[in-house]
Amino acid sequence: MKTAILSWGDRPIQLETKGKRTFLRLGAELRVDVTDASLEQLDQLAQVAADLADVRRDRIRAARVADEVAAEDGFRFVGVRYQRGAEAA
């Protein structure tokens, strides 16, 4: 199995229909055919997206806490290092 890495940032995520096929469009470069996806697969996709959103929320909260602690100690900014990629999740 090959793994492809694509970063799309804040580009749109939307459903796209061409003829009788349905696609999940991720940004400008990636289109996933979901025409024959089972309800279980679609539920798994939704759960993965929810898990990713939770990870992102946790990172934002952690950065805010570090900023608040730094402000209490008289510092203007402190960065929180985190590792990008599957290893960090």
48-67 per-position pLDDT tens digit: 989 989 998 998 888 887 77
All structural domains of the chain with their residue ranges: 13-73
Instruction: Give first-to-last CA distance, the chain, whole Å.
Output: 21
- Residues 14, 38 contacting (CB under 8 angstroms): no
Residues 21-50 have a mean pLDDT of 90
Closest CA to 16 of 8, 27, 25, 7: 25
- 49: amino acid identity, one letter: A
The Cα 26–Cα 8 span in angstroms is: 7
CA distances from 48 to 1, 4, 8, 54 (A): 20, 17, 17, 10
| pTM score | 0.59
